[in-house]
Each structure stands twice: as C-alpha cells, then as structure tokens.
C-alpha cells in the first residue's frame, strides 16, 4: 500500500514538473514567430517610400524640359507644338494689319512753268519752277499665313493720291511758258494774265507673294517673292485767263499699268525682353506693261491740237524701310505696332507733263520724259499674329 502511494505521488510530481516546461515552449515560440513576421513586414515596408518617390521626380524633369524650350520669333509660327496637334487653323500663324505711309513725292524735275526775261545786254535769263507737293497719306493693308516651318503666303496693297497747284499773275515784264506735254505749249506775255498750273498723282499697288522665315543667330529673316501689279497716273493742267481775251489751256494725262516679279528681304532683331524689335526691309520689283499719254490744247476757247502716244514700257522700283516694332503677347496672339522711315524710287516713272525740262530750254522733240519719281516719309501700322 505504501509502495502504491509512493508511486502515485512520484508520478504526480513528475507531471507537475514536466508540464510547465512543455507549455513554455509554445509560449516562447509564438512571440519569436510573431517577432519575425513583424520584422519581415517592417523590412518589406521600408522600400515602399523609395518606390513612391520615383513618380514624384518625373514632374520635376518635365518642368525643366518645358522651361528650356527656345521661343519662336518673327514670322515663324509661335505655336508649332500645336500645329501637329490639330490646331484649329490647320497649323501655323495668321498675320494681318493695317496702317499708312505719310509720304511726299520727290522728282528729279517736274516743271510747272518757266520765267524768261531778256536783259539789257540782250541775254536771256530763264528759271524753271517745279510743282511742290505736300506730304499725304497712303493706306496700307496686308494679310498672310505661315506654317510651322515658316513657309507661307502674303497679300498686301497700298494706294496713294496727292495733288499740287500754283497760281500767279503776269506783270508784263516776263514771258511765262507752260510745260509742253507732247510738244503742246502755251506762252503768256501780257500784263494781267492770270495763270493756273496744277497736277495730281495716283498710285495703286498690289502684291501677292510666297514667304519663308528663318532664325539665324538671334536674327529673324523673312524672304518673299511673288508678283506685283501697279497702276501709276499723273496729270498736268494749265489755264491762262487773260485780262482781256479768251482762255488758253493745256491738258495732259499719262498712265502706266504693268505686272512683274517682286522680291523682298526683311530682317528683325529682338531687343532682349523689352518687347521692342528693330527691323529693316528692302524690296525690288520690275514691272512690264504699257505707258500712254494724251494731251490737248485750247486757244482762244477753241480746241486747237491733240496728241497721244502709247508704248511698251519697263518700270523698275526699289524700296527701303528701317524702323522699330513693339509687340505684346495677348493669349494665343501677339499684337504689334510699327514705325519706320520709308523711301521708294520709281525709276523712269516720269513727271506731270512727261517733260524733263521746259522746251524753251530743250527742244520738246528731244526732251527726256523718263525722270525718276521718289517717295519719302514715314510708316505707322498695327497688326496681329495669331
């Protein structure tokens, strides 16, 4: 009995000792496994911020790229990025504007009349008086288009009208001779004769041309070439109203109409970020057409003589323009204003009477009628590139 009791007590003691030791292993293992799992989660979570930072760097690179894109200048399209994305104009830039020349005609010679007097020693003294024009306005219009590569088209027109006149009364000490269009001439020698002289000039110009712009070392170059049509007309009128007697008169009108090639070069340079640009342009044209002139004479209120001529003719024209331009970006467009000095020479355009000198000085049959016509003044204009 005692042996059985001792065996039972021993078994109970061994069970009490072994059970805590066995239970301790799972308790300790679970925290270790949990700790490893937590550690793995922490290690796996650490690269996540680095992966999220990569997209954040992309906008910085994109912003830098756009900031360093070079701007477009001049007549090249400023919206080339949009040109290839279906710009609503089909790609490119539309440009247009209006303004005026304020110019004055200048002639090598443009006779209205001459004074002539015989001195006591028998010598003749002759002085030629030319017409004196004032400045007047000539409206300008243009419209053009250029694609993203700077190639385009442009149409432009301008027109000009001006007139001049003078009046005097013969005091009887002079002989006053009119100009002699096609050899028809009037002379006043009587005191009291009232003499009127007048002229006008009209010009119409139309250009249609292709254009190509380039950017070269900070300069913008625009080349243009196409066709020009021009119409030039001039008149000469003289009236003698005697103190006692009938009216004498001389009347003449001349016209040139022609087509021909025209080429131009325009150069621009921006002055930093001021919005100001200096520019210059040169143009040359050669027109082929017809010149005609009709003249008539009235003596004592009666038509007395008529003369006319018509011939094929060539008219070269050269032009220069130097000035400044101010521009302002407005949305997708650019407004600009221009001011410039302008000069033109119409070579061989002739003058009011188509006489280079009064016939009293030179025989009208050999008098040259191909003197040059110059136009000088300023240009003011406003426009838009869009």
Tens of pLDDT, residues 89-110: 456 899 999 999 999 999 999 9
pLDDT tens figures, 172-208: 888 999 999 999 999 999 999 999 999 999 999 999 9
Q: How far is CA 179 from the centre of its chain?
A: 39
Name the pLDDT band for 121 (thresholds 50, 70, 90): confident
% of the chain with per-residue pLDDT over 90: 65
pLDDT of residue 26: 40
* Sheet arrangement for strand 187-188: 124-130, 111-118, 175-178, 187-188
Which sequence spans correspond to the domains of the chain? 2-67, 80-385
* pTM of the predicted structure, to 2 decimals: 0.76
Angstrom distances, CA of residue 8 to CA of 14, 108, 157, 291: 10, 149, 129, 149
Under 8 Å CB-to-CB from 323, ≥6 apart: which residues?
Answer: 278, 279, 280, 338, 339, 340, 341, 379
Name the pLDDT band for 363 (thresholds 50, 70, 90): low
On the question of pLDDT at 300 being above 50, the answer is yes
CATH code for residues 80-385? 2.40.128
Under 8 Å CB-to-CB from 209, ≥6 apart: which residues?
Answer: 153, 154, 155, 224, 225, 226, 227, 262, 264
pLDDT of residue 259: 98
Name the pLDDT band for 117 (thresholds 50, 70, 90): confident
Alpha-carbon gap, residue 385 to 75, rounded angstroms? 8
| Contact of 109 with 351, CB cutoff 8 Å | yes
């Amino acid at each position: 009995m005692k042996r059985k009791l001792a065996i039972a007590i021993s078994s109970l003691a061994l069970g009490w000792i072994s059970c805590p030791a066995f239970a301790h292993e799972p308790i300790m293992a679970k925290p270790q496994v949990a700790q490893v799992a937590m550690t793995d989660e922490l290690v796996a979570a650490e690269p996540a911020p680095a992966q999220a930072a990569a997209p954040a760097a992309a906008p910085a690179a994109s912003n830098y790229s756009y900031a360093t894109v070079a701007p477009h200048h001049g007549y090249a399209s400023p919206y080339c990025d949009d040109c290839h994305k279906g710009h609503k104009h089909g790609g490119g830039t539309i440009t247009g504007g209006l303004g005026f020349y304020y110019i004055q005609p200048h002639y090598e010679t443009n006779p209205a009349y001459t004074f002539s007097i015989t001195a006591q020693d028998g010598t003749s003294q002759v002085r030629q008086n030319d017409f004196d024009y004032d400045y007047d306005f000539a409206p300008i219009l243009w419209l053009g288009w250029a694609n993203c590569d700077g190639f385009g088209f442009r149409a432009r027109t301008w027109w000009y009208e001006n007139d001049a006149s003078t009046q005097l009364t013969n005091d009887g000490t002079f002989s006053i001779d009119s100009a002699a269009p096609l050899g028809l001439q009037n002379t006043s020698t009587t005191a009291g004769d009232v003499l009127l002289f007048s002229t006008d000039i009209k010009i119409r110009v139309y250009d249609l041309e292709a254009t190509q712009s380039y950017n070269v070392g900070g300069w913008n170059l625009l080349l243009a070439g196409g066709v020009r049509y021009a119409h030039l007309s001039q008149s000469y009128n003289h009236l003698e109203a005697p103190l006692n007697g009938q009216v004498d008169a001389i009347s003449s009108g001349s016209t040139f109409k022609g087509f021909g090639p025209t080429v131009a070069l325009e150069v621009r340079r921006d002055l930093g970020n001021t919005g100001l640009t200096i520019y210059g342009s040169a143009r040359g044209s050669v027109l082929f057409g017809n010149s005609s002139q009709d003249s008539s004479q009235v003596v004592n209120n009666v038509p007395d003589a008529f003369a006319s001529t018509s011939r094929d003719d060539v008219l070269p024209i050269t032009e220069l323009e130097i000035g400044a331009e101010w521009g302002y970006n407005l949305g997708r467009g650019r407004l600009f204003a221009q001011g410039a000095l302008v000069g033109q020479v119409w070579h061989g355009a002739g003058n009011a009477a188509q006489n280079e000198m009064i016939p009293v000085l030179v025989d009208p049959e050999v008098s040259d009628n191909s003197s040059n016509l110059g136009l000088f003044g300023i240009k003011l204009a406003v426009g838009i590139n869009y």
